[in-house]
Structure 1
Amino acid sequence: MTDRDDDRDHQFSEGEGFGDPYEEFDLDPPELGVDPSKVDPVDSRVVTDTLDKHNIDSDEVDATELLDVGLNYMQINRYEQATEAFERTARYAEDDRLEQEAWVNKGVAHAELEEYDEAIGAHREALRIDDESEHAATAETNLAYALWEFGETSEALEHAERAIEIDERFAAGWFNRAFFLSERGLSEEALHCIDNAIRLGLRNAKVLEEKAEILEELGEFDQAEEIAEEANEMRELAEQEMMDDRKETLGGGQGGPGGMGAGPGAGGQPGLGTGRQSRPQQGDIGLEDLGLGDLGTGDEDEDREWELE
């Protein structure tokens, strides 16, 4: 074994080195102002927990971009992260409309998590800001949805009716009112409401299935069967398009296990005489990024004249 020669010559780099502290690797970014003595080293949420008004000035935060972050989380079904993003949006928003929009979206995300108590609270907060604004009708109908899921069916109908009082062109509001009226056995009024929803462009398999249920309750079996068949064809077409898109994405390969989701509007064709399987639905807030389904209320309908009965 050769002895190590501690005296051998070695050429080391003679660079200028790093300054102190080196900004790019500073463990304590001044903009966060984190107290190291209060940080658990295994806490992965330390950054978000310290990202609040005590550490960052409001003028350094773009609340609109925070809202977009939440909407992007919604698109990939990361609802818990979405609720946090929307709550921060509401906290930093200086505009009441943006704050209200954030609360409505937060309520939608909580409902997707089946956290209906939190959803109810978020929508009530949105309405506290302004119960007559452009987002108030959406907050009302989403509040109705959450209340129904929470078991408060009587109050749910009140808020569904309030939604269309605010905006009589709100298709999702008409659909929910039809659903709640049908649940109470008021089928004629329910049919009137669901026809209004369809006139306003809300025409999909779920809506047609609900109309078939109402027609059956009214004894209009032939018409109910015709509508149910149309709904079934529409759902099968949508499922086929989904499978084609999936195959194209995977390069023609087979997908993994799993099936359609169990969220609002998902599930198989109920058919006639099988009992109610539909549910009320949430409405979007006019943003395509929300991805809660096609409500048929896009810009292409702005110039159409609607005649509500």
Structure 2
Amino acid sequence: MTDREGDGTGDDSRDHRFSEGEGFSDPYDEFDLDPPELDVDPSKVDPVDSRVVADTLDSQQIASDDVDATELLDVGLSYMQINRYEQATDAFERTAQYAEDERLEQEAWVNKGVAHAELEEWDEAIGAHREALDIDAESEHAATAETNLAYALWEFGETAQALEHAERAVEIDERFAEGWFNRAFFLSERGLSEEALQCIDNAIRLGLRNAKILEEKAEILEDLGEYDEAEEIAEEANELRERAEQQMMEDRREMEGQPTGAGGGATDPAGDIADPGREADRDSEWELE
């Protein structure tokens, strides 16, 4: 290799001229290690939250008009039906983020609370239901939020607050059968059996009748010394549960392509009360035992 023309030393550093301009702007728009869409306040970010970047980019890249929040809610409900609760919580949170209608946003928060309850993440469940109530404490979803909040608080050890919110649920909607049942449970746990019996009878009159409800009523009757009636109710509960189990087995055989046996199926799902559709936000009320 020959030297460039010069002093013959082979040192061509003086011949190679670098940019003599003002250099690149700071930050250089075409290549920035700290793009503005990732400009977040670190004091407001949980360092172990792996979704911060994704959520931040979502808010920058996806316009609300491009997201159908109703369909996103349905995605979360579908996850609930197949017991994919972690994915459900994420779908419901994004629904709340993109929902322009407050009722839809509130429904998303309630469902998110239910999903957290299924994961036994009581603190997160409490927070989600409180978010729902902050939107509207008197809406159609408020009674559901109150009764699910009561359940989460009970599991979290806040028993006094649990009863308060259970009572608030039936104050909002006197025809909310699930709310009456939860209130009956909390009263029974406090030894207030007569009031509990009135509440559970209200729930039954409003159409809430399955094995779990009847078993709870039988226990309340025993506490009141009504042993004969308690035994009758307990027997009815067992019959409902047996019919439900038989129906479940027949349904499973049908899904597997096997012929079903003789005999009719149960009409009461015996404990699995919540509708499989948009009413998934009431699932957690039935976890009380």
Scaled by the length of structure 2, the TM-score of the pair is 0.73
Match of 2:98 in 1: 92
**Where do residues 181-192 of structure 1 align in structure 2 (5 Å cutoff)?**
181-192=187-198
Q: Which has the higher helix share?
A: 2
- Unaligned 5+ segments in structure 1 are 1-33, 36-43, 254-263, 267-281, 296-309
Which of 132, 136, 146 in structure 2 is aligned with 1:140? 146
**Where do residues 16-55 of structure 1 align in structure 2 (5 Å cutoff)?**
52-55=58-61
- Counterpart of 1:76, as a letter, is I
RMSD value over aligned CA atoms?
3.0
**Where do residues 66-145 of structure 1 align in structure 2 (5 Å cutoff)?**
66-145=72-151
The answer to whether the Cα contact below 8 Å between 1:74 and 1:290 also exists between their aligned partners in 2 is no
Identical residues among aligned pairs (%): 80
Which of 167, 170, 173 in structure 2 is aligned with 1:161? 167
Match of 1:229 in 2: 235
The answer to whether the Cα contact below 8 Å between 1:160 and 1:177 also exists between their aligned partners in 2 is yes
The answer to whether the Cα contact below 8 Å between 1:187 and 1:218 also exists between their aligned partners in 2 is yes
CA distance change for structure 1 residues 289 and 187 in 2, over 3 Å: closer, same or farther?
closer
The answer to whether the Cα contact below 8 Å between 1:141 and 1:283 also exists between their aligned partners in 2 is no
**Where do residues 237-252 of structure 1 align in structure 2 (5 Å cutoff)?**
237-252=243-258
- Counterpart of 2:192, as a letter, is L
Which of 271, 278, 283 in structure 2 is aligned with 1:287? 278
Secondary structure, in 3 states, of the residue corresponding to 2:258? Answer: coil
Q: CA-to-partner distance for each residue in 1:5-27, whole Å, 9 max, x for gaps?
A: xxxxxxxxxxxxxxxxxxxxxxx
- Counterpart of 2:232, as a letter, is E
Match of 1:208 in 2: 214
Q: Which runs of 4+ in 1 moved over 3 A?
A: 44-51, 282-286, 288-295
* Alpha-carbon distance, 1:54 to partner: 1.3
CA distance change for structure 1 residues 211 and 51 in 2, over 3 Å: closer, same or farther?
farther
Q: Distance in 2 between matches of 1:147 and 1:293?
A: 12
CA distance change for structure 1 residues 85 and 52 in 2, over 3 Å: closer, same or farther?
same
Q: Distance in 1 between matches of 2:116 and 2:124?
A: 6
CA distance change for structure 1 residues 79 and 191 in 2, over 3 Å: closer, same or farther?
same
Q: CA-to-partner distance for each residue in 1:212-250, whole Å, 9 max, x for gaps?
A: 000000000000000000000000100110011111111
- Counterpart of 1:98, as a letter, is L
Secondary structure, in 3 states, of the residue corresponding to 1:224? Answer: helix
- Unaligned 5+ segments in structure 2 are 1-36, 39-49, 260-269
Larger Rg: 2
The answer to whether the Cα contact below 8 Å between 2:110 and 2:281 also exists between their aligned partners in 1 is no
Scaled by the length of structure 1, the TM-score of the pair is 0.69
- Counterpart of 2:222, as a letter, is E
Alignment length (residue pairs) = 230
